[in-house]
Structure 1
Amino acid sequence: MTTHATHMRGSSHRAYLELPWGQVHHRRAGDPDGPALVIVHQSPLSSATYEPAMAALGAHGLNVVAIDIPGFGMSDATPEQWSIPDYAGALWEIVDALGLQKVHLLGQHTGAIISAEATRQKRDRVLSLIFQGIPLYSDEERVKKAEGYAPGYTPAIDGSHLKVIWDRVRWLYPTISAESASRQVAEYLSVGPDYGVAYRAVFAHKPDIAAVADVPTLLLHGSEDVLDRMNDVVTAAFPHAPLVRIPGGTDFVAEEQPEVFADSVAAHVLAHAAAPKPKFTPVYTATVEVTGGRAGRARSTTGALDVKLTRPAERTEGDTGTDPEELFAAGYAACFASALGVAERRKRVTAGPVTVTASVTLGTRPGGTYGIAARLVVSAPECPQEVLEELVAITHTVCPYSNAVRGNIAVITEANGTS
């Protein structure tokens, strides 16, 4: 809503932490027992950038924490000029003070550089990374930026410095709303005349990309983000990281398109989440009794299911027996198709007629054990391919079968829409 974009408050829970250098302001939303997502904003702004998306992220079951970097927003300033390793070390002190263990880090611009360094420092505590624009400057660019990118301002009794800040914001982001620009002026003022303190740390720091190369990473930003120009450099540095560009979004896509932003972030986090704490509310229980194993019979207590089971290798022509893999495939396909309907409602789109075909394969693993793998083919001939792929990604976060097997078995998904 517009009211969220015009000030630094919001509807998420806000609080302060007491750290050695001062107080740190942060926002929280979502499930305290869910996967922990820590958001680190760009400078010289604040966590208010993410306020409109906090509820949408929390609705996916995430434990969302957006911090104000020390010296920015409503957090106390650092006692001296900090380096990026200093900011990263402070981030871990903040995470510890929040009582979090393993986390997912989402960093934008300056926040992305801090998140990358924090991951280098404590790789074992980072489950995944999301870079909402990471400035991988060349040595020449860093020198040039350091010379005059953030000149600061001098407070003037006639208020002319406010126009200086306003003009800078409009120069950087010419298409954003007046409400968003107004909030940014307040954020600049909250830092003070020397708003370039974190910029200096960025320009003096060369990220160690090799140290975080094995971390599951998502590159996510609006198509109009000022760092969209660096896609070639960034994708070359992170060749295994998918790049998601949200059409029409600026640096502030989290407030412009909060639901779209949250869906993409949550899909990545949930795909790389650690095993969640037990939290389960029963809705329905099916009970099936099997006698005779794979060559026996399966009967449900309701009587609706009463089928003969046959080992695939022993099946003969005319044999009507089924097997556990067919039953699992039927359940997965049916559940996924229904969950896709939830995704349609969430995105306010219609996919048209949808067919889900599930294949479940039984196989052997090293050491003589058995395992299964699944493949889903989602066909929607009336749905644009790009829309269908987005719906399928959301569906995997909703479908209980996908949630149950995530991290345990391989699931390949193919989406067939219209080009």
Structure 2
Amino acid sequence: MSTATPTAPHATHLRGTSRRGYLELPWGQVHYRRSGEGDGPALVVVHQSPLSSATYEPAMAALAAHGLNTVALDIPGFGMSDATPEQWSIPEYATALWRIVDELGLDQVHFLGQHTGAIICAEATRRRRDRVLSLIFQGIPLYDDEERAEKAAHYAPGYTPAPDGAHLKVVWDRIRGLYPGISAESCSRQVAEYLSVGPDYGVAYRAVFAHRPDTAALKGVPTLLLHGGDDVLDRMNDVVTAAFPDAPLVRIEGGGDFVAEERPQEFADAVAAHVLAHTSAAGPAGAPAEPGFTPVHTAVVDVTGGRSGRARSRTGALDIGLTRPARRQDGDGGTDPEELFAAGYAACFGGALGVAGRRRGVTTGPVTVTASVTLGAVPDGTYAIAARLSVGAPECPQRTLEDLVALAHTICPYSRAVRGNIEVTTEVTGGS
């Protein structure tokens, strides 16, 4: 007689290895899973419906390794959380989210929401911007009125339990139809999640279809658009990037809707880079203070004479005349602030691209970063600048390079400093 050897929980297992707990709230119990230490940046993760926080179980340890205090919760009525007493609206889910955050003892937080979770996080942020340090949308459904109405009528028809179990095949086929590339283990877990909600699994969908997100109210909140390249909402990139023009878009190739379990390290790296870049302590009256800052290097340059003067670094390595661009003639040896800024941005971004490549385990080959910085007049009579980065790596596949460039924008101090302040366009040219 043989004895089976116990194995570690599969990555798609409902339980996993994270610390788990329950909160007692007025409408019932809320289940959550947690990783990391309490003094790390607080990341609250809200899943898509009708699934659960188990989607994020494979990435929890990697997020903790980055120092994040991550709480992935089961939306009320989903996973192992109790159902709501009646149909809730998105504002009611958002109110509940803040009640959960308070019960967890968290103050300022970063929100990561996927699909339904993204809509809830957006509304929660709109209500309490003072407590949200940053947002990560792992696919946010910004439907127009026509699609919202069509989905409300047909998208989640539910199922009827059958004595012979035929409804299990109905659920399986629905999941397979939505996500044909997922593993059998992941599909099995999702069947269990559908069944835990009950035959009417579309309750949160109805809330989403009835809600119009106020994306304009989120302007100024540091936001990252992050999802797998094959996510079902990848089709909405044009609409979403138009709604969040200052948000970098990171697409993780080889991952779909469940990129947190398919590419957990890449997912955690991208999430942590954004969270750590936008973490701050609470300042006076609850206002965000300056992020923690550890000096690494200080450059000191003395400029006399303004744009027509001279720039000298304290090290002596830089000693160059400055010339107004409009007055520059052939043979002039001077430079201008825009050229100096372009040199710094290109060099820093090239370094950030190298970091991104190491995080992804990718060798890019030779890389050239060209920065163009333009000085221009604006309608109020003052001046502003705009920047353009051209990144070329002929030995790196185009899609891979695009992913690395998006990640580099979350790493590069120059990109972070100008985000939301000046227009930065990026041109990426990789290999075939």
- TM-score, with length taken from structure 1: 0.74
**1:19-418 correspondence to structure 2 within 5 Å:** 19-27=25-33, 38-54=44-60, 65-75=71-81, 77-78=82-83, 80-85=85-90, 86-97=92-103, 99-100=106-107, 104-108=111-115, 110-112=116-118, 114-115=120-121, 130=137, 132=139, 134=141, 139=149, 142-144=152-154, 149-151=158-160, 168-169=171-172, 172-173=175-176, 175-181=181-187, 183-184=189-190, 187=193, 191=196, 195-196=198-199, 198-203=201-206, 206-209=209-212, 211-212=214-215, 222=228, 227=232, 231=235, 240=242, 248-262=254-268, 277-418=290-431
State the distance in 2 between where 1:128 and 1:222 align.
17
The Cα shift of 1:354 comes to: 1.5
SS of 1:209's equivalent?
Answer: coil
Residues 68-118 of structure 1 show CA distances to partners (whole Å, capped at 9, x for unaligned) of 11233343x14523323433331233345554558555233x435545665
Verify the 8 A CA contact 1:219 1:241 in the aligned structure 2: no
AA of the residue aligned to 1:132: G
1:67 CA drift (Å): 1.8
Is there any run of 5+ residues in structure 2 with no aligned partner, and where? 1-7, 281-287
Query: SS where residue 328 of structure 1 aligns?
Result: helix
What's the offset of the Cα at 1:300?
2.4
Call closer, same or farther: CA 1:153–1:81 in 2, change over 3 Å. farther
Tell me if structure 2 keeps the 8 A contact 1:294–1:323.
yes
The Cα offsets for residues 266-286 of structure 1, whole Å up to 9 and x where unpaired, read as: 788899999774211111222
1:260–1:121 Cα change, 3 Å: same
Bigger drift between 49-58 and 268-277 goes to 268-277
Deviations along 1:132-174, whole A, 9 cap, x unmatched?
A: 374966656544566x5243588xxxxx97x975884476236
Letter in 2 for 1:177: S
**CA distance in structure 1 between the aligned counterparts of 2:89 and 2:161, rounded to whole angstroms:** 20
Q: Distance in 2 between matches of 1:135 and 1:195?
A: 27
C-alpha contact (below 8 Å) 1:95/1:101 kept by paired residues: no
Deviation sequence 1:265-310 (CA, Å, 0-9, x none): 6788899999774211111222223333333333322222222333
Aligned length: 402
Residue type of the partner of 1:81? E
Q: Determine which of 2, 8, 12 is the counterpart of 1:5.
A: 12
2:430 alignment partner, SS class:
strand
Deviates more, 1:31-40 or 1:321-330: 31-40
> RMSD of the alignment, in Å?
4.5
Q: Contact 1:150 / 1:199 at 8 angstroms: preserved in 2?
A: no
> Is the CA contact 1:38–1:105 (under 8 Å) kept in the aligned structure 2?
yes
Matched to 1:374, the amino acid is A
Worse-superposed segment, 331-340 or 21-30:
21-30
Tell me which residue corresponds to 1:157: none
- The alpha-carbon distance between structure 1 residues 111 and 178, as it changes in their structure 2 partners (threshold 3 A), is same
User: Per-residue displacement from partner, 1:334-364 (whole Å, max 9, x unpaired)?
Assistant: 1111221111222222222211111222334
SS at match of 1:5: coil
User: Contact 1:165–1:188 (CA<8 Å) still a contact in 2?
Assistant: no
Distance 1:143 1:120, change over 3 A: farther
Change (3 A) 1:65 1:19: same
Using the TM superposition, give the Cα deviation of residue 406 of structure 1 relative to its aligned residue in structure 2, in angstroms: 1.7
Pair 1:377–1:30, CA change in 2 (3 A): farther
Q: Which residue of 1 aligns with 2:283?
A: none
For residues 322 and 241 of structure 2, the distance between their equivalents in structure 1, rounded to whole angstroms, comes to 46
Counterpart of 2:98, as a letter, is: W
Secondary structure of 1:240's aligned partner: helix
* Pair 1:244–1:237, CA change in 2 (3 A): same
